[in-house]
Amino acid sequence: MIRRVKEAGNRRQILGFDANIFWMGMTSFFTDFSTEMIYPLIPVFVVSVLNASAASLGVIEGIAESTAALTRVASGYISDRLRIRKPLAVIGYLLPCVAKPFLAIAQTPVHVGLVRFTDRLGKGIRVAPRDALLATSADRKHFGKAFGFHRLMDNLGAAVAPLAAVLLLAIFQVSKNPDHLRPIFIIAGAVGLIGVYFLWMNVEERVPERKADAGGRPAGPRLTFADLPPRYKVFLLGTIVFSLANSSDMFLILKAQSVGVALVAIPLLYFTMNMVYSLVSYPAGVISDRIPRLPIITAGMAVYAVTYFSMGRATTALAVWLLFALYGVYNALTEGVGKALVADLVDDERRAFAYGLQYTASGVCLLPASLLMGFLWKIAGHQVAFTVDAVLALAGAVVLLIGFRMTKR
């Protein structure tokens, strides 16, 4: 049964947060624990076990992310039109848990591609309804705090996961035989189910009241691009430009290996990045409730540009470790704060659609972004490839700054 939005003072609290926000944070903790336990290992599995090329890796990641992204706007539209949030989120969290164990029997890059597609399809289904539910569960004055906490929990899971991966790499003696990665994929799927359980049992459905039409009857929202606020459209455009620079993180892993970072240390790189991401996310969200969010987001884009420009020129393992930490700062300044900004710009009734449209636009860009990165890496070298991404990232920041100033006028 659909429950109407409760007043903030009547909502159940856990550790100072609305119960929905707390339990969605716990769900994301275990989901990202599951995902990041194996994500840094997939390029190794594809290249070392299945004997595929870096270009194949780019195709797998580009197709999986971009094709799955098409579901995000549809999921957001359905969520707003039918006024459902939780059921879509549960389905979206469950699909990756079912898909990951199939990596254990993958024999070709195509098999890996199908698993990655299903995994990302689940994310495409869940993110827009989940973020809309999160915003509806938060006090409008504390959107940044709510999304900052969610990012904190999400990335704590992502930070702890590589430590578990290192332990499992040792237990299964993967350094002696990379094919021993397969059991780890099954374990990852089981861990994700814990998060699904928390979401299903503890998060309550909340949807906004529908506004009345001229006759006093509840009216559905107008879910068209033309009816979205001008500043949201500017934010969407800036996101698209920036996303053309945001190629798969798999290329960062390949760069790390090229300068001598050992296989067993790859998960620790992700631990470093995600721990920084976690520690900075919550303060960034809280600060964004007190000052304009746009400068924080564009500063994060600039950090991304510096990271990629420097990554292309890194020649030592130490430099790569430092840059992975800086990459965590970029994520913390843009992810949660960006979601809070969308919540500011778009009303409750159209929020899932707006999130879905943004995620679809950025996700579709991952295919050309990853293909461009792989192509430039192959014909001109990694330095040129990383530099081009850095320039595109700065272009996205410029679009946001100019566009928001123009819409203000």
Q: Which of 310, 320, 321, 327 is nearest to 276 (CA)?
A: 327
Q: At what angle do helices 230-243 and 351-380 cross, to 10 degrees?
A: 20
Measure the CA–CA gap between 269 and 256, rounded to whole angstroms: 9
pLDDT at 231: 92
pLDDT at 240: 92
Instruction: Answer yes or no: are the C-beta atoms of 121 and 66 closer than 8 Å.
Output: no
pTM of the model: 0.82
Please tell me whether residue 312 adopts helix, strand or coil conformation.
coil
Q: Which domains does the chain have, with CATH numbers?
A: 17-207+221-408 (1.20.1250.20)
Q: Greatest CA separation found in the chain?
A: 72
pLDDT at 321: 93
Q: At what angle do helices 317-345 and 143-171 cross, to 10 degrees?
A: 150
Instruction: Answer yes or no: are the C-beta atoms of 68 and 363 closer than 8 Å.
Output: yes
Instruction: Answer yes or no: are the C-beta atoms of 358 and 342 closer than 8 Å.
Output: yes
pLDDT at 46: 76
Instruction: Answer yes or no: are the C-beta atoms of 298 and 249 closer than 8 Å.
Output: no
Measure the CA–CA gap between 391 and 323, rounded to whole angstroms: 17
Query: For each successive 10 residues of the chain (409 residues), what is the average pLDDT?
Result: 46 84 94 84 76 69 72 90 92 92 82 84 91 91 92 87 83 77 87 94 83 54 79 93 86 85 78 88 94 94 94 89 94 93 90 90 82 85 89 93 83
* Amino acid making up residue 192: G
DSSP codes joined into one string, 270-298: HHHHHHHHHHHHHHHHHHHTTS-HHHHHH
